[in-house]
Structure 1
Amino acid sequence: MKVQNTVNNSPFRASDGAKRVKVSTSGNERSRMSLAVSSAANGNKLPIYVIIPRRTELPEYDSPENVAIAYKTGATFNDDMIIDYVRRVVLSYKNHCGFEKIYLIIDHAKCHLTLKVKQYCNDNNIELFYIPPRLTNILQPADVMWFRSFKRRYHEMWTD
């Protein structure tokens, strides 16, 4: 029987009987960014709001006109980020169009339900409507129309 030797180039290293395994990574496996995609009732797409996982702005980077960039370690939405999104995207659109009042349909994420977010929207004549829990993938227009094709294409390109 012929023995074949193989070279293991994986980043995993362990000695016999080791209780821990050292994993060498690039450090970017958990880097994520979050985004909010919005449209008006007439179909106009509003600027995409992107949260980049950084403490400071990207040096010498000018985002496209249809993208609003925010920086936050962890790149997750909280009530402050939702208010920033509403201010920079939704309220800008409302003011640009000269609307007295607008209606914003959002899901039941905890950061959408805070008193701080509700008060900010109320103060700016934005009425919130919430999609019932566990129905976002059926009732939220962005999930149904945009994300479905995006996710399908993403999985075709990036998953084995």
Structure 2
Amino acid sequence: MPAPTTTAQRVFDITMGLIDEVNENSGETDTADTREYKVRTLLILNALRGELYPYSDTYNVETAGERPIVSVIQDFDTPIDLDDYICQSVMPYGLAAHLLLDENPASASFFQQRYEELRNNLSKGLPKTAEAITDCYGVGFEYNEFSRW
């Protein structure tokens, strides 16, 4: 399992793209227009991390009977201790929903629904690999005793 590499800054950048707050000329997300969003981002991401941690491939129960919690996101430059798929594909929608809640409730509702859909898909588990099926009955693959009536 590779170490997580996605930072809060990357989640913020993706979110600003989703809510159309990227500077048209420079492509920057850190502008005077997005300053208010950035101030609130770490608080919101820290609320979302606990909800998403049980679905992450970094989830680890160390002591029976104790609910593990992922480390707090302290800054925009340190990798978040959740797997990169969750950080880049699910968290931005949750962040967008929270950032737009007062400003644009219709958009916030769309982003919240998308976040919940993606989060619920995580409950299906991590991707699995295919494996060969072994014939443990010795019947064979082409015919068995019921194949010709």
Length-normalised TM-score, structure 1? 0.23
Structure with a larger share of its residues in helix: 2
Greater RCO between the two (CA within 8 Å, min separation 6)?
2
Length-normalised TM-score, structure 2? 0.24
